Amino acid sequence: MTATPTTPTPSATTSTTPPTTGTCSAYSRIEAESYSNQSGIITQATSDIGGGQNLSSIANNDWAHYKGVDFGTTRATQFVARVTSGATGGASGLVEIRLDSLDTAPIGTFAIANTGGWQSWQTIPANISGVTGVHNVYVTFTS
Ligand SMILES: [Ca+2]
């Protein structure tokens, strides 16, 4: 199994006014390690901007869950993540974003290939399918 350490930071972007309600705004930075629950993931110190921690040891079928993320009333159409990967041999990981259940169809996906090292951070945007309201966000990993 190929480990693909990545640190998605679920934060939607839009040109509209951010919402002010909900347990956690989709329009502010959400630290990946602030998950409510997860499977297969560990946290470690990060060299990314701002320090703190990142998710690590991410492998196939691992996931992280973020409770009560408020997307507001205007459709959010982009998800932006900070990621890094030192995977070699052309290996890449697929990140899928789901709402409210691990079994729902993804609202957005993006792939992560080698970024130049395991602490070589890049910002990756992904389109999402117009999300409003408060949701439990699941980020799942396939490699
Ligand atoms: Ca972090």
Å from CA of 34 to ligand 1 middle: 8
What pLDDT digit, counting tens, does each position of 6-52 carry?
Answer: 555 555 554 444 444 558 999 999 999 999 999 999 999 999 998 99
* Distances in whole angstroms, Cα of residue 43 to Cα of each of 2, 16, 35, 38, 79: 18, 33, 11, 11, 21
Of all residues in the chain, the percent with pLDDT exceeding 70 is: 85
Å from CA of 82 to ligand 1 middle: 9
Measured CA to CA, the distance from residue 70 to residue 17 in angstroms comes to 13
Residue ranges of domains in the chain, CATH in brackets: 11-142 (2.60.120.260)
Q: What integer is the mean pLDDT of 87-92?
A: 90
Confidence (pLDDT) at 15: 44
Å from CA of 9 to ligand 1 middle: 8
**Contact between residue 143 and residue 2 where contact means Cβ atoms under 8 Å apart:** yes
Cβ-count burial of 120 within 10 angstroms (0-12 exposed, 13-18 middle, 19+ buried)? middle
Å from CA of 33 to ligand 1 middle: 6
Å from CA of 53 to ligand 1 middle: 4
